[in-house]
Structure 1
């Protein structure tokens, strides 16, 4: 009986040590995280955003400032959003992060934000972004050992508001997506000179882009489903709709070459 009691005690000690070791391992689990900046095109020469920091919040209580943790921003400074559209992006963060649930992220902006219109630069007023940051909801999991890639997608056309007297304000319209839970529509416009704004519509949701000078376009971060493309070209060309564009998560749907007729 004494031997059995001794063995039981030893067993409990061993199991306790294993549990403690596993708990320590779970605490130290990390997820490789990449965060990229992209943009929906706009009819401006430049939209310069001064990004100084990126932070994330892992608590469900977003009222606790202590819950915010800063990421390692690769390059702080000014980014022209219009350089990153139709499939282009730039890498902001590339680091291992503690695994777990993330509820929010935010961009902290500096003071050098501007929009350039017809060659003339205008200061963008962004008071809240310089203090509390541009917040956006994530509610996603950083799973241990599995790379997590997130795109921060500005809609520059809807984010800039003219307040009068030659003044402009940044009221950001931002969405986020990752490739595992979203799809892409790509295609080409003929003639390229039609330069249409292209709206991908599903239900009440619309995601837009503007075709490049060569006619190519790409709309990323789309939920799976059946879309309608609504093409709004410049004056001199006829509007066009295309129904039944199927989008699947993690895949690119090629809409082919879309012909736009002149008026």
Structure 2
């Protein structure tokens, strides 16, 4: 009888251990992860400093209201701080969120939360000017993403900060306003164009156009550029040197972009 009781006890412990392991495994498979990167669609400035403090998401619900401030969930960011958006060129991006666990469901919106320490250095000036944030933007900028989140997947979002459209001169007051304009894309649902411009010392803008869609980047110190978050299709690439160089732009047509892949171009050479 004593042997039977000991056997039953061991059997019960094994069942409990299996149940716990099975429960942990089940909870892991129900999770999804989120990554968010920031890139720059540049403007004609020396520096644009923006304080980034948080990233939030908002799920769809029965009482979903786009203007309702309730229901936002912080996913945190790796390193809150002040960043120069114009350094995000040549394939450089700012990793805001890296594989943070999130719930499954349908995410309607993502929001980039900015602090108050934002400034700009205009061309030809030596001191930065403060960027004022209108009250409507102080709670952060909302971007519609409408993405279903499925367990077991990592969702990599690219936020393209359009500097040129985001900085607004306020009439004759001398004030400069920051009204952030962002474009969000899911990396797995988009493609990339990458290349190099020679000589690498040339200051060059690179514009990718597909119908009404257009996005811009600059080469880095090595002459490299990367344009991410592109919808699938055929693109025209226009490589534009600085006006003072008196060089004609180079236009490359019918560049095919496929989802989830990088289209690498041959070196683009100015002679």
Instruction: Report the TM range for the smaller structure's normalisation.
Output: 0.7 to 0.9
SS at match of 1:256: coil
Counterpart Cα distance in 2 of 1:77 and 1:130 = 18
Question: Aligned residue for 1:242?
Answer: 252
Question: Aligned residue for 2:225?
Answer: 217
Q: Cα deviation per residue 1:80-128 (whole Å; 9 max; x = unaligned)?
A: 2122222211222231011111001112222111112333111001123
> Of the candidates 108, 114, 119, which is equivalent to residue 109 of structure 1?
114
> Of the candidates 65, 70, 74, which is equivalent to residue 70 of structure 1?
74
Unaligned segments of structure 1, at least 5 residues: 1-21
**Mean alpha-carbon deviation: is it higher for 169-178 or for 122-131?**
122-131
Q: Cα deviation per residue 1:210-246 (whole Å; 9 max; x = unaligned)?
A: 2223321111111111111122222211122111111
Instruction: Give the CA RMSD over aligned residues.
Output: 2.4
SS at match of 1:120: coil
Contact 1:109 1:129 in 2 (8 A): no
Counterpart Cα distance in 1 of 2:113 and 2:51 = 9
Question: Aligned residue for 2:19?
Answer: none
Contact 2:89 2:220 in 1 (8 A): no
Residue 253 of structure 1 pairs with residue 263 of structure 2: yes
Contact 2:32 2:149 in 1 (8 A): yes
TM-score by length of 1: 0.82
TM-score by length of 2: 0.80
Unaligned segments of structure 2, at least 5 residues: 1-22
SS at match of 1:86: coil
Question: Aligned residue for 2:57?
Answer: 56
- Deviation at residue 141 of structure 1 after TM alignment: 1.8
Instruction: Summarize the alignment of residues 142-181 of structure 1 with structure 2, pairs less than 5 Å apart.
Output: 142-163=149-170, 164-181=172-189
- Deviation at residue 165 of structure 1 after TM alignment: 4.7
